Amino acid sequence: MIHAEPAEMTRLAQGQGFLSLRGLTRRYDHFTAVDDLNLDVAKGELVAFLGPSGCGKTTSLRMIAGLVPASSGHIVVDGRDLTGVAPYKRDMGLVFQSYALFPHMDIARNVAFGLEMRKVPKAEAAQRVKEAIAMVRLTGREHHRPAQLSGGQQQRVALARALVVRPSILLLDEPLSNLDAKLRDEMRTEIRDIQKRLGITAIFVTHDQMEALTICDKVVVMNHGRLEQVGTPHEIYEHPKTAFVAGFVGRINRLSGRASGGVAQVAGITVSAPGFEGDVDVMVRPHRMVLSTGPAPADAGLHQLSGTVTRATFAGDILEYEVEAAGTLLKTEASTRGGEALLAPGTPVTLSWRPQDTFVYAAS
Amino acid sequence: MNAAHKFGTLCLLAAGLMAGPAAAETNLTVMAYSGLFQERYTKAVLEPFMKAHPDIKVTFFPLPSSAAMLGNLRAQKAAPQADVVIMDVSVSKAGTDEGLFTKIDETNIPNVKDLYPNARIPSVAGVGVTFDNLVLLYNAEQVKEAPKSWMEMAKAPYKGKVVIPGVPDIQGLGLVLILNKANGGTDYLANVDKGLAAVAEIAPNVQTWEPKPEVYAPIITGQAALGVGYNARAQVNSEQSGGKIKATIPQEGTIFQINTINLVAGAPAAEAAKTFVNYALSPEAQKSFTETMFYAPTNSKAEITGAALDRTAVKNLDKVMAVDWIALAQVRDKIAEQWRRRVLPASR
Amino acid sequence: MTSLTLCHAEPRRLGPLGTASALLLPIAVVNAIGFLWPVVNLLKMSFREAQASGALGAGYNLDTWTNALTDSFTLELITNSVGVSLLITVLTLIASYPIALYLHRSTGTWRTVLMVLVVAPLLTSAVVRTYGWIAILSDRGLVANALMALGMAEPPRLMFNLTGVVIGLTEILMPYMILALLSGFGRLDPRLEEAALTLGASPLKTFWRVVLPLTAPGMALGGLLCFVLAISSFVTPKLLGGGRVFLLATEIYDQAIVTLNWPLAAALSMIVLVVFGISLTLYARALRRIA
pLDDT in tens, B186-229: 899 999 999 999 999 999 999 999 988 789 999 999 999 999 99
Task: In whole angstroms, give the CA distance from residue B299 to residue B284.
Answer: 10
Q: What is the pLDDT of residues C219-239, one digit of tens each?
A: 999 999 999 999 999 889 998
| ipTM of this complex | 0.84
Spatial CB neighbours of C34, under 8 Å, sequence gap ≥ 6: none
Query: Contact A91/C214, CB-based, under 8 Å?
Result: no
Range of the domain at A346: 251-362
pLDDT at A15: 52
Residue ranges matching CATH 3.40.190.10 in chain B? 14-131+258-314, 132-256+320-347
pLDDT at A357: 92
| C50 bridge partner residues | C56
Chains B and A touch (3+ CB pairs under 8 A): no
pLDDT at C27: 87
pLDDT at C9 over 50: no
Query: Contact A103/C214, CB-based, under 8 Å?
Result: yes
Q: Does C55 touch chain B (CB under 8 A)?
A: yes
Q: Does B344 touch chain C (CB under 8 A)?
A: yes
What is the share, in percent, of chain A residues with pLDDT greater than 70?
94
The predicted model gives B24-40 an average pLDDT of 91
Q: Residue A297 — very low, low, confident or very high, per pLDDT cuts 50/70/90?
A: low
DSSP A152-190: HHHHHHHHHHHHTT--SEEEEESTTTTS-HHHHHHHHHH
pLDDT at C16: 65
The answer to whether A47 and A18 are in contact (CB under 8 A) is: no
Question: In this complex, which of C52, C160, C257 lies closest to B207 when CB atoms are compared?
Answer: C160
Give the chain A residue nearest C210 (alpha carbons): A102
The predicted model gives A43-65 an average pLDDT of 95
Do A193 and A140 share a domain, yes or no?
Answer: yes
pLDDT at A163: 94
Which residues on A lie below 8 Å from C192 (Cβ)?
A: 100, 102-103
Spatial CB neighbours of B242, under 8 Å, sequence gap ≥ 6: none
What is the residue-averaged pLDDT of chain B? Answer: 90
* Of B302, B159, B167, nearest in space to B228 by CA: B167
Do A198 and A256 share a domain, yes or no?
Answer: no
Do A76 and A111 share a domain, yes or no?
Answer: yes
* Of A17, A26, A22, A37, nearest in space to A75 by CA: A22
pTM: predicted TM-score of the whole model, two decimal places? 0.81
Q: Residue C11 — very low, low, confident or very high, per pLDDT cuts 50/70/90?
A: very low
Domain boundaries B132-256+320-347, corresponding CATH code: 3.40.190.10
| Three-class DSSP category at A236 | helix
Q: Looking at domain C71-290, does it have CATH number 1.10.15.40?
A: no
Between residues 167 and 196 of chain A, which touch chain C (CB distance below 8 Å)? 171
Q: Does B92 touch chain C (CB under 8 A)?
A: no
- Output the CA torsion B282→B285→B287→B289 (10° steps): -140
| B255 bridge partner residues | B321
Q: Does B162 touch chain C (CB under 8 A)?
A: no
Q: Residue A204 — very low, low, confident or very high, per pLDDT cuts 50/70/90?
A: very high
Task: In whole angstroms, give the CA distance from residue A212 to residue A232.
Answer: 10
Q: What is the pLDDT of residues A315-341, one digit of tens each?
A: 888 999 999 988 889 999 988 888 888
Closest CA–CA distance from residue B98 to any residue of chain C (Å): 6
The answer to whether A62 and A68 are in contact (CB under 8 A) is: yes
Among A193, A220, A247, the domain-final residue is A247
Task: In whole angstroms, give the CA distance from residue C285 to residue C279.
Answer: 10
Spatial CB neighbours of C47, under 8 Å, sequence gap ≥ 6: C60, C61, C62, C64, C65, C263
Tell me how far the alpha carbon of residue A363 is from its chain's centroid: 25
Task: In whole angstroms, give the CA distance from residue C72 to residue C67.
Answer: 10
Give the chain C residue nearest A65 (alpha carbons): C198
Among A221, A247, A273, the domain-final residue is A247
Among A247, A278, A308, the domain-final residue is A247
Task: In whole angstroms, give the CA distance from residue A339 to residue A115.
Answer: 58
pLDDT at A16: 65
Do A91 and A36 share a domain, yes or no?
Answer: yes
Q: What is the CA radius of gyration of chain C?
A: 24
Give the chain C residue nearest B70 (alpha carbons): C260
pLDDT at A25: 96
Q: Which fold has domain B14-131+258-314?
A: D-Maltodextrin-Binding Protein; domain 2 (3.40.190)
| A74 bridge partner residues | A22
pLDDT at C144 over 90: no
What is the residue-averaged pLDDT of chain A? Answer: 90
Q: Residue C15 — very low, low, confident or very high, per pLDDT cuts 50/70/90?
A: low
Q: Does B166 touch chain C (CB under 8 A)?
A: yes
Question: In this complex, which of C160, C246, C256 lies closest to B208 when CB atoms are compared?
Answer: C160
pLDDT at C133 over 60: yes
DSSP B213: S
Contacts across the A-C interface (CB distance below 8 Å): 70
Do A165 and A282 share a domain, yes or no?
Answer: no
Which residues on C lie below 8 Å from A88 (Cβ)?
A: 197-203, 205-206
pLDDT at A6: 45
pLDDT at B286 over 70: yes
Task: In whole angstroms, give the CA distance from residue C269 to residue C39.
Answer: 9
The predicted model gives B91-109 an average pLDDT of 94
pLDDT at C33: 87
Q: Cα(first)–Cα(last) distance of chain B, in Å?
A: 80
Q: Residue B316 — very low, low, confident or very high, per pLDDT cuts 50/70/90?
A: confident
Which residues on B lie below 8 Å from C56 (Cβ)?
A: 74, 94, 98
pLDDT at B174: 95
Give the chain B residue nearest C238 (alpha carbons): B210
**What is the b/e burial string over A296-332, where b = at least 16 CB atoms within 10 angstroms of the residue's CB?**
eeeeeebbbbebebeebeeeeebbbbbbebeeeebbb
**A1 inside domain:** no
Task: In whole angstroms, give the CA distance from residue A59 to residue A70.
Answer: 9
Q: Does C234 touch chain B (CB under 8 A)?
A: no
Q: What is the pLDDT of residues C249-268, one digit of tens each?
A: 999 998 988 888 999 999 99
Q: Are strands A269-272 and A263-266 parallel, antiparallel or unpaired?
A: antiparallel
Task: In whole angstroms, give the CA distance from residue C291 to residue C213.
Answer: 10
What is the share, in percent, of chain B residues with pLDDT greater than 90?
76
Domain boundaries, chain C: 71-290
Task: In whole angstroms, give the CA distance from residue A155 to residue A158.
Answer: 5
